[in-house]
Structures are given as C-alpha cells and as structure tokens.
Amino acid sequence: MKVTASLRVVVIDGGYDSYTTEEKILSPYGVQLEVRPCDRDPKRVLAAVKEADAVLVRESPVGADAMDRMPRCRAIVRYGIGVDNIDLEAARARRIYVANVPDYGAEEVSDHALALLLAVVRRIASRDRAVRAGAWNLSRSQKMYRVAGRTLGLVGYGRIARSFERKMRGIGTSRVLAYDPFAEPGAGVEMVALEELFREADFISVHAPLLPQNRHLISARCISLMKPTAVIVNTARGALIDEAALAAALRSERILGAGLDVYESEPPAPDNPLFGLDNVVLSDHTGWYSEESVAELQQKAAEELARVLGGLAPKNWLNRWDS
C-alpha cells in the first residue's frame, strides 16, 4: 500500500475524551487528524473542512456547500447511525463515500427506551419530585397500569427495535406489532399499517431513521388514535413526531405519557412546552451512550475510513453509485 503523506482528516464534532483510537487506525495511511468542533454551526463547518481529504462527523451538517470546499474528499463517516445531517445526493454526485456505524449501541439505545418507558408508566420522575417535596402515599393520585400482558408497537423494525422487543417480551409483552415498509417480520411479530399500530398498541417505541419523506411520520392524526392509557417513547429522531401535537395531547392528558430522548430541535429551547408537563420524561439524546459504545463507535468509524483510504468501499456504504 502506497502511503500519501499528510492526508487531512477533520473531526467536526467534539465530545470524546481522546482520539487515540482513530489516530492509531489511520496513521498507516499518513493521516493528519484534526479535531475542529463546529457545534452544528454550518459556517464553522465550511471553515473546518476546507481542503479536507475526509470528514468524521456526529451532528454538524455537511451539505453541498461544505463538499465544494473539499474537492479531494474521499469519505464522510458518521459517528452513529442516522445520516440526516449529511447530503447524500450531493456526496454521490461528487463520488464521496458516505458511511455510518449501524451495528453499535443497540443494547444501549434499547436499554434507554425501556428505562424511559418504565419511568413514564411507573411515574418515577414525578414521584421523585413529590417525595423530595414532602409528599407521601400518592398511589391513587396518578393512575398506573400493569406492563405485562399488554401490546407493544414498534415504529421501525431494525436492530434496536428487535433488541427492545426482546427486552419487552422478557417483562411480559403479550403481542407485538411493527410498522416498517422495508423490514421482514420477526417471529411472533404482526406487521401492520401505521394507523392500526397507533390504535392497537399500549406502548409505542420509535426506532425509524429520519428521511426527507417521513418527517412528522407520527402526525397529529396518529396521536389522536392512541389509547388514553398509551405511552409513546422516542429514542430515534425528534422530527419523526409532530412535537406540538404530542405536547398538546400530553397537556390535555389525552394519552398517559411519553418518554423522549430526542427532539425536533436539539438542544430544545428553554420554552419548549414539553418542559412544563409532568407526564413526560426527558433525557438529552443520550440513549446511544455507554463507555463501551463510545469505544466501539470510534473504532468502527475509523475502520470505515481506513477501508476507503486503503482503496476499498466502506462496509456500510450509504450513497451507492454505479461504477
């Protein structure tokens, strides 16, 4: 393998304690790794990626204008699964590989979805606040319902959804519905239309990718079909749900509750209407995280880039073109 001196690889989002894993994997290719956190700012991205040979990215946007600043770019690799922040068509037109890491963090995200669901169903957050304020014996003041024997609905049926399904079956889910136009059903899973899922499910967990055509997939209409005792959890992408419609349903107690790790705009604004509601449990897009998942993610992202620098296509190539 011929090594080209000083290939410039730019990491445009911070958040990791060190990048020694990437440096070790990429050093045989003559890579000069630069960490230039852009904090989702498109203008900072344009400055950071200029003349880059490759980009490693988490949340910041990489559009056609950024790609025009790096005519030698070979690859854009996403630290994670969703690539809604990368213009796949623009990258395809420029023959820039786009890859992600779809096979990490399934246990962490499904654990987090389960934790959010149980926190909502068992009123953990509101009871914590009440007890700290001196309240006691609150059992009948906020109704709770048994988890076992109820129906689970999965919006999206990929790795994470299947991991979540396994855990929910372990605590007694009796029926599993799934909506996913692209997936084959698992054993004992009923593939149904989206509106049927929202009518029938007691617990709904969202695990779909965000695509241009499915923004607000979970619309006001879908939310209106939910049972009054139903709970919805989202650990995928915030824009899959009409957040205003969900907030309205929660405020009126039209549904029992929600557990959200993701939002239409991140971080959410201080005046987000969800913040004033007791029947929603919120976290900071942290479902993917564990110390083990971070190590796995950094390694696998760097390995994808190494494949490209070594003259191969990435394993998880997302914007394929005809050779």
Which of 74, 237, 243, 307 is flagged as catalytic?
237
From the candidates 72, 129, 253, 266, give the one annotated as an active-site residue.
Answer: 266
- Provide the pLDDT for residue 140: 84
pLDDT digits (tens, 9 = 90+) for 41-57: 999 999 999 999 999 99
Q: Give this prediction's pTM.
A: 0.90
Q: What is the pLDDT of residue 15?
A: 86
Q: Is 112 a catalytic residue?
A: no
Name the token pair of 71.
């005519």
pLDDT at 251 over 80: yes
Is the pLDDT assigned to residue 6 strictly greater than 90?
Answer: no
| CATH code for the structural domain at 106-282 | 3.40.50.720
Q: Report the alpha-carbon distance of residue 273 to residue 278 in Å, rounded.
A: 11
**Band of pLDDT at residue 31, cut at 50, 70 and 90:** very high
Number of C-alpha atoms within 13 angstroms, CB side, residue 229?
12
The CA distance from 81 to 103, in Å, is 8
For every residue of 258-320, DSSP letters joined together read: EEES--SSSSPPTT-GGGG-TTEEE--S-TT--HHHHHHHHHHHHHHHHHHHTT---TTB-S-
Cα-flanking dihedrals φ and ψ of residue 218, to 5°? -90, 95
pLDDT at 59 over 90: yes
Q: State the burial class of residue 226 (Cβ atoms within 10 Å of its Cβ: 0-12, 13-18, 19+).
A: buried
From 58, 123, 150, 285, the catalytic residue: 285
Confidence at residue 322, expressed as pLDDT on a 0 to 100 scale: 87
Please state, for a pLDDT cut of 70, what percent of the chain lies above it: 98
Residue 22 a catalytic site member: no
Q: What is the mean pLDDT of the chain?
A: 96
pLDDT tens digits, one per residue of 202-211: 999 999 999 9
pLDDT of residue 110: 98
Tens of pLDDT, residue by residue over 136-190, are 988 888 899 999 999 999 999 999 999 999 999 999 999 999 999 999 988 999 9
pLDDT, position 2: 53
Tokens, residue 297? 């993610």
Q: Which pLDDT score is estimated for 158?
A: 95
Tell me, yes or no, if the two domains 7-104+290-309 and 106-282 fold the same way.
Answer: yes
pLDDT digits (tens, 9 = 90+) for 8-20: 999 999 889 999 9
- State the pLDDT at residue 139: 82
pLDDT class of 25 with cuts at 50, 70, 90: very high
Q: Is 5 a residue whose pLDDT tops 90? A: no
pLDDT, one tens digit per residue, over 255-304 is 999 999 999 999 999 999 999 999 999 999 999 999 999 999 999 999 99
Determine the Cα–Cα distance for residues 76 and 79; give it in Å rounded to an integer.
Answer: 10
Domain boundaries, the chain: 7-104+290-309, 106-282
Verify whether residue 159 is a known catalytic residue: no
- Residue 208: DSSP 8-state: P
Section 297-316 average pLDDT: 97
Domain 7-104+290-309 has CATH 3.40.50.720: yes
Residue 223 has pLDDT above 70, yes or no: yes
| pLDDT at residue 4, as a whole number | 52
Q: Please state the rounded mean pLDDT for residues 84-101.
A: 97
